[in-house]
Amino acid sequence: MVEAVSNLVKLLLEFVLSGVSVLIVAAVLPGMKVRSFFDAFGFAVVVGLLNVLAWKTFLAIFSVSFSVITLGIGFFIINGLIFLVAQKVVRGVEISGCFIASIAAILVSLCNSAIMALLR
């Protein structure tokens, strides 16, 4: 029971940090706007759920061949599409297109990595 609570707290903290990353990226990336931290947090949760659905189920079967065929660029496009779908779910987030969404996905990932490195 204690381990389950600990895992839930870690997951919640990761979503909070991802929300912060979304806010940072939206502040520096033209074409991406976030209304509030709660919208950024909700966006991070939706992106996380969509990533699990996309990569752990459907795309897991095709990931190696997909990566080879698209020379790795397909992953960025799919992550951008996931960001676009998430912004449709979370009304307080606006992204101007697939290219900006793909760049935002990369920047959020890099920002998350930097924050986690600073916290360790």
The pLDDT confidence band at residue 87, using thresholds 50, 70 and 90, is: very high
Beta-carbon count within 10 A of 115 CB: 15
Domain that residue 58 falls in? 2-119
| Mean pLDDT for all residues in the chain | 89
Distance CA 4, CA 71 (A): 39
The torsion angles phi and psi of 92, rounded to 5 degrees, stand at: -85, 5
What per-residue confidence (pLDDT) applies to 74? 75
Query: Model pTM?
Result: 0.87
Number of domains in the chain: 1
Q: How do residues 30-86 score in pLDDT, each as one tens digit?
A: 999 999 999 999 999 999 999 888 877 766 666 667 667 777 777 788 889 999 999
